[in-house]
Structure 1
Amino acid sequence: MKRYLLPGLLAGSAGLVHAGVTDNLVVSPRAMALGNAVTADPGGIESIHFNPAGLASLTGYQHTDTLFIASIRAHSKFKTAPDIDIGGFKDDPINNTETGPVRQAMALPFLGIPKARLPAVVVPGLGFSWNNPGSRLTFATGVYLSQAMSIDRTKDANDPGRFDGRLIQLQRLVYLSPAIGYKLTDTLKVGISVPIAYANFAINTDFRAPNKLLGTVGALQKGVCPNGSGNIIDTLTFGLCGGGPEGMVDPFKKAANIDFDMHSSFDPTVNLGVLWEPKPWFALGAVYQGGTSTTFVGTYNFHSEPMLRQFVKGLNSSLLGPIVAGVAALPQEIPEYQSGNLTAKIPFPFRVQVGMKLKVTDYAQLNVDAMYADWKKWEYLTFRFDQSIKLLEMARLFGHANSTQATFPMGFRSVTNMAYGLQLFPTKSLTLRFGYEPRKSSIPGDKISLLTPLPDTKLKSVGVRYQFHNGAELNVTGSYMKGTYNVPARTDCNLNCDGFFNLIYNPYAATTVSGDLIVRYFGVSFTRPF
């Protein structure tokens, strides 16, 4: 199947929502501090997410408030290959540039994304649990952000990263999560939760097409009409210059801007957990986090620059140009703006996580987890529009016949990760925590893009817990995650290929792209009886 612009952008953005690296970042300060190795030691109300069987260990009525502050920095550098040649164009202004400042935003359910952009984003959360004295049942619910990514490059209008995402906003907010934990025996517990989420992703990106066919057309225009003015011969033939100076094709030039916002208001999944604690110093846990097939709905807007609009206009104003356009099934015109509705059915892969808790001494405990995510099902994603997109009809030259529907080959892979947590207990009230989680990305190195700048990363955390005499508990955690990537020119056809048919989407054709992703975040939670 041929690759195409919008499905590539949408699929890449959806990949950000669920691509493994963004999971579990701001769910629980306690889990953060332990590198999310908490399946056999799920802790408090956050057991709803990590292992609902852990809820059966809670007693009385409890209330948890959480607050996270997170900043994401995505930096990239661009270096064109010495032999770059895009149909005769060899001087890409992107060469030797770097992306600029990055800001964050927070999408509000049912309201959208506020205009304010901040150096960091603040994420609140809360949870409740109820257990009657002597009851084997514990009920709970919580509000938390299970997955998120926010990158805003709009502060610099000329940021070179704008051609692969000026704004990327993706998140999955669980707003209701009814859960039950049940104590089968003194050592065996089970649980189930049903997180109901509001999923959102939005993208605003500039688009350019450094493709050899477009470069060849631009070179022909320079030969026929160096100053961009048409002539009688051109008018009586193919109208290459009929669009005037604005219609001169440059493969390195911005061709359009694409803006869209999609969401799913009701997206339930199910978590099933089991916890076995045969000894106070040893426990095993397992959780299954079910997948789903989510239908996203939203709106889109295409803003076409004069270059392609005027080129098509000039082509269709000549004597022979309409014949060429008809044979190639090109549009008769491209409107400056085209808006409408968009739908996509995106699978949410299931996850399985197992873990062990080992309290080696009265003063130290080790947690180890292994997790698997079924991202291999993201082989293809399909997007549907409510009309034929005139700008996209240009891709018929490359074999994409249906401009109202597009399928994009993702090529994601299923991944297995490990996680490690260490707890030290210097006093009965004070606990020190340390976490390490080497995260493998579900996005192969030859599929990465600036829309999905998610390489393998390493998450490191440190936290402290203090328990008060009245049973209240304070958790404070700081975490740092970093990953780097280097994509040599012509090795990733979601980013920098320059073959004749690599029109969509390779905005950095024949260019080596390197960069990093850094996430810093701080979390605090306060749990108290009520």
Structure 2
Amino acid sequence: MLYASVAQAQLAQNLFIGNPKALALGNAVTADPPGIDSIHFNPAGLARLKGRQFELKGIAGDLSLEAEFTPGPELAYAFEQFPDSLSDPTVNGQKSELSGTSVMLPFFGLTEIPALVAATGGASFEVEDRNMVLATGVFTPMLLGLKREPGDAGVYSGEEVGITRLTYFSPSIGYRISDKLFVGAALNFSYVGVGLNFDMRLPNFTFGAFDTLQDGGCFDQNGDVNSNPLNDIICTGSLSPFQTMAFIEAEFERGLSTTMNVGVLWEVEPWLTLGMTYMSGARDKIDGDVRIEYNSGVQDFINNLAQDTSIVGIVAGALGVDEIGVDETPASMVLEYPQHFSMGASIKVTPRFKTNIDVKWTDTAVWNEWDIKFDEQVQFLGVLGVISDSLNQGTTGGAIGADGLLLPRGYESVWTWAIGFEYQYTDRLAFRLGYEPRGASIPEGKRDLFVPIGETTLYSTGFAFQWSKDTFVDGSLGYVHSEQNIPSNGSTNATSTAIDNFIYNPYAGYNMKTELSVIVGEISIRSTF
């Protein structure tokens, strides 16, 4: 539940690096690396830079995410058969929309900001007598933030979500082997932060049957509790399938995560350049804190169960059940940053018209399952773990317990491609277009609202203007679009009605449609000093 949002960073890959040239060319720049940001895209391109240079960049983004929910046939039948005991006004027939932006910031944690904006930069220095260029830069390989209003249908997949990977120091080198062959390498030191606040619910058949049992068996005709050992337990508190069981707040940070980029650039002919880049992955244990505040119905049920003196209470005590209100615990999780490989060609079709083509591979299969550990016992999750184990039919995998969560994801590594066009309109002004179909690394049976990424496409445009002999201004505008249509029982991560699907399936039985749109604007100025 806590970790699922991390995969949204795959959506933001390369979008917020802040380099207008790369964005405008659909990120097809492996063979045509862009200035100081060659550190990220292909460090061999640094060897082309002359003298001492600096680059300042500005980035602004706007993210729109909508979701619609309609009951599938099984859920519609349940609503029809039990109109008094089963209802879901927060989600049934509702639409979810974002209301703002929250991001993870060093020292500040998960923070609401007026807009998704950032300013970064870098510098390079040519060591002429050694045929090499040294450089460092600041950029954001991951940057994503969203906020929903309380009561929105999407809060079960995040009321506030912030994901940041900020590379703050990247010592790099580009080396000229010959006039046509260049190599380069970069070592990236990054801050990693993940923040997530959300309402948790478990719309499982078990709780639906329990809720119906409460309504039908607890009270006599006068409204008094029918006292017996079972009713004395279940008639106090509430475990409805559609209620918010708890509000969870979590923040995880790591100040130092290291990765490495290596690249090669070969100017085969004046009209043809080839490039290749490998970006290493990272496997980091990031530490943080989790706070779980239970709603009153859950509190009453668990507390009554813990105090019961019958055999049921004795069994509950053996499981470690005690009174609950708020659980707070340090926690940790292992965060995988996937490795990436790209190769490309830059072709001058005419003296003024250039085409760039890239083929890329991203190892998103590392997100097969995620493991979250709690330093202290979370009793309510332990109770759910006992229920889950008793019902387990092998439908979804994973595990839930008082000491943590093991969340199945089942993502796939993907090959994608990108293409960019540049037309040199005058000696000082060029126009660019880009297209990048990013594909889908999430199988249809694993789609959800936590990671709303179906088939994703980037469209972009931009310009390059030589302001003076040594000063260049670049600008770009990009648009990313993705849609999902997830039917009831179409995903074990969102809409499954399987009795053993506890982890984490907040819209069980619903048909869900999502539409994601991201607009990104970037501008940079590069000059000498």
- State the match for 2:239 in structure 1: 249
Question: SS of the counterpart of 1:361?
Answer: coil
- State the match for 1:263 in structure 2: 253
Deviation at 1:319, TM superposition (A): 4.6
Where do residues 166-245 of structure 1 align in structure 2 (5 Å cutoff)?
166-226=159-219, 231=225, 233-234=227-228, 236-237=229-230, 239-243=232-236
Is 1:92 equivalent to 2:81 in the alignment?
A: no
- State the match for 2:121 in structure 1: 126
- State the match for 1:276 in structure 2: 266
- State the match for 2:424 in structure 1: 425
Change beyond 3 A, Cα 1:317–1:341: closer
Please identify, of 399-408 and 437-446, the stretch whose mean Cα deviation from structure 2 is larger: 399-408
Give the Cα separation in 2 of the matches to 1:488 and 1:127: 47
Deviation at 1:101, TM superposition (A): 3.5
Q: Percent identity?
A: 29
Where do residues 16-415 of structure 1 align in structure 2 (5 Å cutoff)?
16-17=8-9, 19=10, 21-27=11-17, 28-84=19-75, 85=78, 90-93=86-89, 94-114=91-111, 116-118=112-114, 120-153=115-148, 156-226=149-219, 231=225, 233-234=227-228, 236-237=229-230, 239-243=232-236, 247-320=237-310, 322-323=312-313, 325-326=315-316, 330-395=319-384, 396-399=386-389, 400=399, 402-415=401-414
Please identify, of 201-210 and 129-138, the stretch whose mean Cα deviation from structure 2 is larger: 129-138
Provide structure 2 residue ranges, at least 5 long, that are not aligned to the other structure: 390-398
Deviation at 1:460, TM superposition (A): 0.5
The AA in structure 2 aligned to 1:105 is S
Residue by residue over 1:13-43, the C-alpha shift from the partner in whole angstroms, topping out at 9 and shown as x without a partner, is 12122x3x22000111110000000000002
Deviation at 1:405, TM superposition (A): 3.1
Give the Cα separation in 2 of the matches to 1:423 and 1:237: 74
Question: SS of the counterpart of 2:365?
Answer: helix
The AA in structure 2 aligned to 1:368 is I
Residue by residue over 1:400-424, the C-alpha shift from the partner in whole angstroms, topping out at 9 and shown as x without a partner, is 5742132222101001110000000
Deviation at 1:290, TM superposition (A): 0.6
**Any conservation in 1 of the 2:105–2:164 contact (CA below 8 Å)?**
no
- State the match for 2:396 in structure 1: none
The AA in structure 1 aligned to 2:110 is I
**Any conservation in 1 of the 2:63–2:516 contact (CA below 8 Å)?**
yes
Deviation at 1:70, TM superposition (A): 0.4
Deviation at 1:377, TM superposition (A): 2.5
**Any conservation in 1 of the 2:321–2:383 contact (CA below 8 Å)?**
no
The AA in structure 2 aligned to 1:272 is V
Q: Tell me how many residue pairs correspond in the alignment.
A: 511
Deviation at 1:489, TM superposition (A): 0.6
Is 1:483 equivalent to 2:482 in the alignment?
A: yes
Provide structure 1 residue ranges, at least 5 long, that are not aligned to the other structure: 1-8
Residue by residue over 1:142-195, the C-alpha shift from the partner in whole angstroms, topping out at 9 and shown as x without a partner, is 001111221110xx3210101111111111110000000000011000000011
The AA in structure 2 aligned to 1:39 is T
Change beyond 3 A, Cα 1:226–1:433: farther
**Any conservation in 2 of the 1:272–1:288 contact (CA below 8 Å)?**
yes
Q: Cα RMSD over matched residues? A: 2.0
Change beyond 3 A, Cα 1:201–1:162: same
The AA in structure 2 aligned to 1:392 is L
Give the Cα separation in 1 of the matches to 2:498 and 2:504: 11
Deviation at 1:204, TM superposition (A): 0.3
Change beyond 3 A, Cα 1:76–1:330: farther
Give the Cα separation in 2 of the matches to 1:501 and 1:468: 63
Change beyond 3 A, Cα 1:330–1:216: farther
Question: SS of the counterpart of 2:450?
Answer: coil
Question: SS of the counterpart of 2:447?
Answer: coil
Change beyond 3 A, Cα 1:349–1:401: closer
Where do residues 468-507 of structure 1 align in structure 2 (5 Å cutoff)?
468-507=467-506
Change beyond 3 A, Cα 1:388–1:30: same
Change beyond 3 A, Cα 1:241–1:407: closer
Deviation at 1:222, TM superposition (A): 1.1
**Any conservation in 2 of the 1:304–1:334 contact (CA below 8 Å)?**
no
**Any conservation in 2 of the 1:204–1:260 contact (CA below 8 Å)?**
yes
Give the Cα separation in 1 of the matches to 2:315 and 2:517: 47
Is 1:12 equivalent to 2:4 in the alignment?
A: yes
Give the Cα separation in 1 of the matches to 2:400 and 2:22: 49
Deviation at 1:371, TM superposition (A): 0.3
**Any conservation in 1 of the 2:306–2:323 contact (CA below 8 Å)?**
no
Deviation at 1:109, TM superposition (A): 1.5
- State the match for 2:394 in structure 1: none
**Any conservation in 1 of the 2:481–2:515 contact (CA below 8 Å)?**
yes
**Any conservation in 1 of the 2:160–2:197 contact (CA below 8 Å)?**
yes
- State the match for 2:525 in structure 1: 526
Give the Cα separation in 1 of the matches to 2:97 and 2:277: 41
Please identify, of 222-231 and 337-346, the stretch whose mean Cα deviation from structure 2 is larger: 222-231
Give the Cα separation in 2 of the matches to 1:321 and 1:98: 45
The AA in structure 2 aligned to 1:159 is D
Question: SS of the counterpart of 1:495?
Answer: coil
Give the Cα separation in 2 of the matches to 1:348 and 1:391: 31
Give the Cα separation in 1 of the matches to 2:96 and 2:256: 36
Deviation at 1:267, TM superposition (A): 0.3
Give the Cα separation in 2 of the matches to 1:185 and 1:221: 79
**Any conservation in 1 of the 2:200–2:247 contact (CA below 8 Å)?**
yes
Deviation at 1:209, TM superposition (A): 1.3
Give the Cα separation in 2 of the matches to 1:15 and 1:321: 44
Deviation at 1:241, TM superposition (A): 4.3
The AA in structure 2 aligned to 1:127 is G
